[in-house]
Amino acid sequence: MASKDSPVLTSLQEAPPEVRAKAMRVFEEKERKEQLRTARFGQIRPQISLTSQGQRLVAVRSRIYYSDKWKFFPDFLRDYVPQVFGLEWCKAEAAKPETERHPIISWRAVGAAYMNAQPAQPDGSRVALPSGALAAYTCFAYDLYVVDDNGGLDATLLERLKNPEQFQGARHELFAEATCYRAGFTVQHENERDVSTRHAEFTAKHTATGQLLSVEAKSRHREGVLGRPGQVAERPSFTFARLINDAVAKKPCQPLVIFLDTNLPHKWAERVLTRQAGNTLSRPVKVLLDEVNKEHNGTDPYCMLVFSNHPHHYAVYDLDPHQHLLSVLAQDPKANVVALRSLHLAAMLYGNVPMGFSMEEGDPPPPAVPAAWPKVRYDLQVEGTEVRVLREGKAVSQAFSTTDRDRPKAPSNLHEFLEDIGLSRVDAHAVCAAIEEGKSVQSVYANK
């Protein structure tokens, strides 16, 4: 019976010891690579790719894409988006004035110009630290690929992505759906033609636990970014209750998870979404949660909130800023915590984009260490109570004073300036503390 039911296993058991040992090493290496892949990119389908007659072939569900110009997986992603959106549509957008182009077309053009300006390596490739535009385009393209390859692109979502006025919300929904696939969920879209009731974006089912969740994606619009008219506010609003309540008002059938894009510049996301001393939530988040709880009779109308901030578009021509993620469980989630935790962990994988085409081929390192982003020197000179700031030897227009004290909940004007040029919150405070003691600070290097 054993040899009939398990001929391969029986043959392996009867094989010479050195053959068995080699086979086990092969199996273990394959398992190791699979564990590494899922740890880095989530529980999504492995990439399917091969080379043939000088062409690189990549399978995305039932379609095959090919080119002889794809050395790394991001090279494929660069050309994948125009194929999905339509070459004619992309050409029409690219022909528009720069200020009128669709965001993804602008990101692609600016990112390509940035990479083309880098010195070529001996193998002809180029490598650099990612700019905001390059990261925005690559992360979008990879999320698009993940959703397309693992569940298929919803036609309605694709049309919304192509519409500049609807792009921001659709982009965040794409992130939420890609996160669900990375977390081991399947996705079922609602029937949008049914206008008799409002719908969540989609229903997600956790394969491991069977937990069903209704998923809503909300993104905070702000002036001056992502195609919105106006100027970027010096101090953005932290109000998000309306977005949460709008998601709750849809009265979804399953426990509700809300993905909320705060759409903040990096320094403000650092203050709002970073946990404070003692692992406590920031004051703006506490106020928000209390407000929503009170509006719903002392209960949390969701099972989890996933606050995210991917501020690529605030630094299109600069070094890509750090992203933030904060997940908050309801007091009584009424959903499987294992499934909810998997969503949080998967959301943290955003931005992990493969370099290679498959784990079997390996994930090749960049051909060279990226050149450091050019640093700008600042010198801060204390003269009485006045603080002069020199940028590469030339005084900046802003005026600062040693009497303007820097406090955790009330950063000084100098602190704000230092964060704006790229210093971390901690480093900015350290410089301010020295200035307040009347000490000049020389050779502070920043990104811009």
Per residue in 376-432, pLDDT (tens digit) is 999 999 999 999 999 999 999 999 999 999 998 789 999 999 999 988 888 999 999
Kindly give, in sequence order, each residue whose CB lies less than 8 Å from that of residue 342, ignoring residues fewer than 6 positions away.
Answer: 183, 184, 185, 206, 208
**Residue 313: per-residue pLDDT:** 96
**Residue 1: per-residue pLDDT:** 41
Residue in 387, 385, 394, 380 with CA at minimum distance from that of residue 427: 380
95-109: per-residue pLDDT in tens?
999 889 999 999 999
Beta-strand pair 202-206/185-189:
antiparallel
- Residue 290 in tokens: 């209390």
Taking residues 29-33, report their average pLDDT. Answer: 85
**Residue 3: per-residue pLDDT:** 45
- Label residue 195 by pLDDT band (50, 70, 90): low
Taking residues 193-204, report their average pLDDT. Answer: 77
> How far is the C-alpha of 413 from the C-alpha of 419, rounded, in Å?
10
Residue in 278, 288, 152 with CA at minimum distance from that of residue 220: 288
pLDDT at 2 over 50: no
Taking residues 19-37, report their average pLDDT. Answer: 83
Identity of residue 25: R
**Bridge partners of residue 205, in order along the sequence:** 186, 212
- Residue 441 in tokens: 């600070």
> Taking the CA atoms of the chain, what radius of gyration do you get in angstroms?
25
Residue 157 phi/psi, 5-degree rounding, is: -65, -40
**Residue 13: per-residue pLDDT:** 67
pLDDT at 197 over 90: no
| Range with the poorest average pLDDT among 17-31, 109-123, 223-237, 324-338 | 17-31
Taking residues 184-197, report their average pLDDT. Answer: 77
279-312: per-residue pLDDT in tens?
789 999 999 999 999 999 999 999 999 999 999 9
CB 413 within 8 A of CB 431: no
**Residue 29: per-residue pLDDT:** 83
Kindly give, in sequence order, each residue whose CB lies less than 8 Å from that of residue 200, ignoring residues fewer than 6 positions away.
Answer: 190, 214, 215, 216, 247, 250, 252, 256
| Cβ-based burial of 254 (10 A; exposed 0-12, middle 13-18, buried ≥19) | middle
Model confidence, pTM: 0.88
The three-state (H, E, C) secondary structure of the chain, written as one string: CHHHHCHHHHHHHHCCHHHHHHHHHHHHHHHHHHHHHHHHHCCCCCCEEEEECCEEEEEECCEEEEECCCCCHHHHHHHHHHHHHCHHHHHHHHCCCHHHCCHHHHHHHHHHHHHHCCCCCCCCCCCECCEHHHHHHHHHHHHHHHHHHHCCCCHHHHHHHHCCCCHHHHHHHHHHHHHHHHCCEEEEECCCCCCCCCCCCEEEEECCCCCEEEEEEEECCCCCCCCCCCCCCCCCCCCCHHHHHHHHCCCCCCCEEEEEECCCCHHHHHHHHCCCHHHCCCHHHHHHHHHHHHHCCCCCCCCEEEEEECCHHHCCCCECCCCEEEEEECCCCCCCHHHHHHHHHHHCCCCCCCCCCECCCECCCCCCCCECCCCEEEEEEEECCEEEEEECCEECCCCEECCCCCECCECCHHHHHHHHCCCCHHHHHHHHHHHHCCCCEEEEEECC
362-390: per-residue pLDDT in tens?
666 666 667 777 789 999 999 999 999 99
